Structure 1
């Protein structure tokens, strides 16, 4: 952060955010005077919650055991809302009320009574962490959860509880509208719009609020869902999460016989093929820009709503990704610049990184985003070194707002972290990509200038996938006026998926890879030798897993380019089989 241009970017961002905060504060104060609480008169219907549910979790909740995001508390008869949350992620899960779907899955009178009791406890509680409970996105999630699970909550309820529940929904609508008016951040605006549409469609007496919410929804979808179907944050998980909310919303508009916003229909139609773009043969999504564990059951449920059975997008220039397929082999490549500042809290410095798989087996991966981890590990997962690409002098191609530098930088950064989170401060400004064919092989050439300002270097990567998918060739080139800087060292990493056995041969000129499905691949590089080092895969369902990485190191001033190659040797590897038999299996 001591680097001059980044320091001034930090100050400029802080001034901009201070202005936004002042405007928002004034609007918030005025809205308290002039915005009343809407009064829904009754619930018309409840939307379907597409997320899978587990009735055994209902038993845990009834016994007072609340386990979310890797943390748990036992209430011993007290309200869970009276406890200090063990982590922010735990608090977000508790106050979002998504766990109500597990009670509904239990389908018992006991679960219904428990749900009503917990809703009443929330209303009467002082809130253990108001900053989380009153966050725009959490209010929106809670409103959608309460409406979706209203049959569970209201079954067998008396009239007094029913009226309290309607007032609670009205209070949530008022709070969300105040957050929207006071200038909530973009993703929060979109979540608020979706939740307000849920309320307007499912509650009688909110027609005026529905019209405003529909306009807000249209505006935010047009801003945030790009022409190729990706989200402006470039995070694959965001489009999955949005689809779980937007698909029921589309059905609600149809059920109420209200004109469905064209922006909603268009967004869904574009987003479903984009989900398929990121999907590998094992059914999970590529690990770019905040993507972590893929809930395979959730994803399978989601794709059943793809009426057109769309094909994966191969070329997503607006979101900045490319997909290459041949035979059993699949490649997904990040060729995009960092997302807009306010949408970059989870973005990684992984420009030109790629993930590579053969059938249902991942080979090269990015480290991914951990589901449960502290801030230090999460920030490490965003560095260039955590991606299968090149870094220079162990510096990332993007710089994020962080608590470092001199006292003024640290003070400004801490304030920004509280306000908007660890956003990207600087990164590649010019990212190019071009696809072509060469003797029936697919070729992708891409470059970024994320190291030009510091080192005067541009990183260019060329990838070529053979027609049969059995050979992936690559070349990394570093060019520019900084090639004469003797101190610059480029390190190219290929993080291997867990379970792959890697062994060096011929003094590092060859690395043999044996996959868990018994395929055998060979990695070679010229003019430098390869090293095999420890790595960690952060996005495994059962937590972080140790793995390995192939590492190439060069000095661009002496060796401006390095060529490398992955080649499949056998689909079923047997250490004792002959070379001739191995060739027949290719």
Structure 2
């Protein structure tokens, strides 16, 4: 344990230093007196074309904006005729959505003169107040999303515009591109830094007279794609939803290269080829993504859009070793398991302590899930959702398998990255008796409690039965502390559509599904309790649900076997 504490402090000191320096540079560059123009990006004579927006717009939202109703991130602001940029933001999430200008797509969807005039008036307000220098607006990711939104919706903004507005728009857009060029390398790692590279890539292709910007932006994009898109197509941050968001940007970027008659860089094409199959890897039969490492409700429209670009449309891969996930599938039954280490500390701000958790679906219904995160109010729920107890896996001594930053001053500076967690993982997979068997173990509890958790899954060839085993063994060179004998709780969080009830034998739990294709859960040598849980990733917000829990002590009962089986198989 002393070694863990020393290693945590060393990693935290290095990360805080790097993060603090990057934040200081970004704040300095956002200051009015900072000479952005040192980053040479000439003011273009015109925009050559607009990227295609793959995200769906809602024309009804345009009417709400015109009526002064701005609803973002679950918060509503009534402007009463004032500019929304003059209002006090009700939450940081609301401000980030407003300042990113993604809502322009709703005005575009309205396709009316009044919508175009309203969009132009709002952009003019923003330019007049130099809104890009506001605190939330100047964060690199928000600035990058704003540049992409302005480029994508430039036909909406500039149609019927007078020459004076056109010049102001181009100058403001250029200033923001210069800012991104300066601040991009120091943006927070992961999606923010990649968003900056993407925005610069779009700008270099869509703005005239940008030969140098095209070259430098392409170099940055290649570097980030090679680093962040892993060999199996997953993202280095391990959030499945990141794939959808990236593809919604990368696919239009490829189209921009084609529109300019410039060959896309091989790194872009290779990244797309790797990412597409992973969409099907994480997808259950009901269309929803598995809930790992910050995944919330699946954006159905966005997922359907990017899947339309998948030419292969084949069976999903079963093994994603670089991303740290495994998939078992047979007879319409799907098991998706997390068998990976936490991401690097700079990419772990959204990572969860869910090692060896899994999700189980049968046909069009999910049975076992993780809690996930909601679409709105994510910051409120994030601390609880990241804990191991919010995942369908084993918790030892009521402690998470990962250690997060919890010091107040540091969390305000750099968030709550993962300091430490499972480092030694072993994954074995192969056929056994005609079934697909997966076995994995992790040492996330070894240093603190002397326990290594091993879990195995065995899915029958017809998909009618999933047998599992959890084993708690003494870590090599360790022993169970006398005051902490390895108390554990094995949790199986159920989807809200599943209704659990006790069978007449008192041991079996019947899992009723809406279509009548019921399942049973049993753990022959253990006591199973039904407890309350919460499903955070529902489309309508958090919902109450239930979980199955098996409790025990590793020193006394180190092995627990359990089974999910279709009732139809028991009756046959």
Bigger shift: residues 285-294 or 500-509: 500-509
Bigger shift: residues 82-91 or 98-107: 82-91
Bigger shift: residues 331-340 or 126-135: 126-135
The whole-number CA distance in structure 2 between the counterparts of 1:502 and 1:23 is 50
**Partner SS state of residue 135, structure 2:** helix
Contact 2:200-2:213 within 8 A present in 1 as well? yes
Map residues 57-206 of structure 1 onto 2, 5 A cutoff: 57-125=61-129, 127=131, 130-182=134-186, 184-206=188-210
In structure 2, the partner of 1:14 is 13
Bigger shift: residues 235-244 or 294-303: 294-303
In structure 2, the partner of 1:528 is 526
2:479 pairs with one of 478, 482, 486: 482
The whole-number CA distance in structure 1 between the counterparts of 2:238 and 2:24 is 30
The whole-number CA distance in structure 1 between the counterparts of 2:173 and 2:271 is 27
1:230 pairs with one of 229, 234, 250: 234
Map residues 337-416 of structure 1 onto 2, 5 A cutoff: 337-373=341-377, 375-402=379-406, 410=407, 413-414=408-409, 416=410
Q: 1:528-560 CA distances to partner (integer Å, 9 max, x unpaired)?
A: 110000110000000111111000001001000
- The size of the alignment, in residue pairs, is 563
In structure 2, the partner of 1:458 is 452
**Partner SS state of residue 59, structure 1:** helix
TM-score (norm 1): 0.92
CA gap of 1:11–1:121, structure 2 versus 1, over 3 A, is: farther
Deviation at 1:12, TM superposition (A): 4.3
In structure 2, the partner of 1:577 is none
**Partner SS state of residue 280, structure 1:** coil
Q: 1:79-126 CA distances to partner (integer Å, 9 max, x unpaired)?
A: 111112111111111011110001000000000000000001112236
Deviation at 1:187, TM superposition (A): 2.6
Map residues 242-391 of structure 1 onto 2, 5 A cutoff: 242-373=246-377, 375-391=379-395
Segments of 5+ residues of structure 2 without an aligned counterpart are: none
The whole-number CA distance in structure 1 between the counterparts of 2:429 and 2:92 is 43
The whole-number CA distance in structure 2 between the counterparts of 1:561 and 1:46 is 60
Contact 1:91-1:129 within 8 A present in 2 as well? no
Are 2:553 and 1:559 equivalent residues in the alignment?
no
The whole-number CA distance in structure 1 between the counterparts of 2:491 and 2:340 is 19
CA gap of 1:16–1:302, structure 2 versus 1, over 3 A, is: closer
**Partner SS state of residue 327, structure 2:** strand
Are 2:411 and 1:417 equivalent residues in the alignment?
yes
The whole-number CA distance in structure 2 between the counterparts of 1:56 and 1:376 is 29
CA gap of 1:171–1:126, structure 2 versus 1, over 3 A, is: closer
Segments of 5+ residues of structure 1 without an aligned counterpart are: 403-409, 572-581
Deviation at 1:3, TM superposition (A): 7.7
The whole-number CA distance in structure 1 between the counterparts of 2:41 and 2:213 is 11
Q: 1:230-277 CA distances to partner (integer Å, 9 max, x unpaired)?
A: 000000111110000000000110110112111000000110100110
2:571 pairs with one of 568, 579, 583: 583
In structure 2, the partner of 1:578 is none
The whole-number CA distance in structure 2 between the counterparts of 1:258 and 1:244 is 20
TM-score (norm 2): 0.94
Contact 2:487-2:552 within 8 A present in 1 as well? yes
The whole-number CA distance in structure 2 between the counterparts of 1:7 and 1:543 is 40
Deviation at 1:508, TM superposition (A): 4.5
Q: 1:209-244 CA distances to partner (integer Å, 9 max, x unpaired)?
A: 110000000000000000000000000111110000
CA gap of 1:563–1:484, structure 2 versus 1, over 3 A, is: farther
The whole-number CA distance in structure 2 between the counterparts of 1:126 and 1:4 is 50
RMSD across aligned C-alpha pairs, in angstroms? 2.1
The whole-number CA distance in structure 2 between the counterparts of 1:67 and 1:31 is 35
Contact 1:6-1:426 within 8 A present in 2 as well? no
Are 2:436 and 1:438 equivalent residues in the alignment?
no
CA gap of 1:17–1:32, structure 2 versus 1, over 3 A, is: farther
**Partner SS state of residue 482, structure 1:** coil
The whole-number CA distance in structure 1 between the counterparts of 2:452 and 2:315 is 34
The whole-number CA distance in structure 1 between the counterparts of 2:556 and 2:143 is 56
2:217 pairs with one of 188, 213, 231: 213
**Partner SS state of residue 567, structure 2:** strand
In structure 1, the partner of 2:499 is 501
**Partner SS state of residue 479, structure 2:** helix
Deviation at 1:374, TM superposition (A): 5.7
Contact 2:456-2:469 within 8 A present in 1 as well? yes
Bigger shift: residues 429-438 or 279-288: 429-438
The whole-number CA distance in structure 2 between the counterparts of 1:23 and 1:535 is 39
Bigger shift: residues 119-128 or 92-101: 119-128
Q: 1:511-532 CA distances to partner (integer Å, 9 max, x unpaired)?
A: 1111112111111103211000
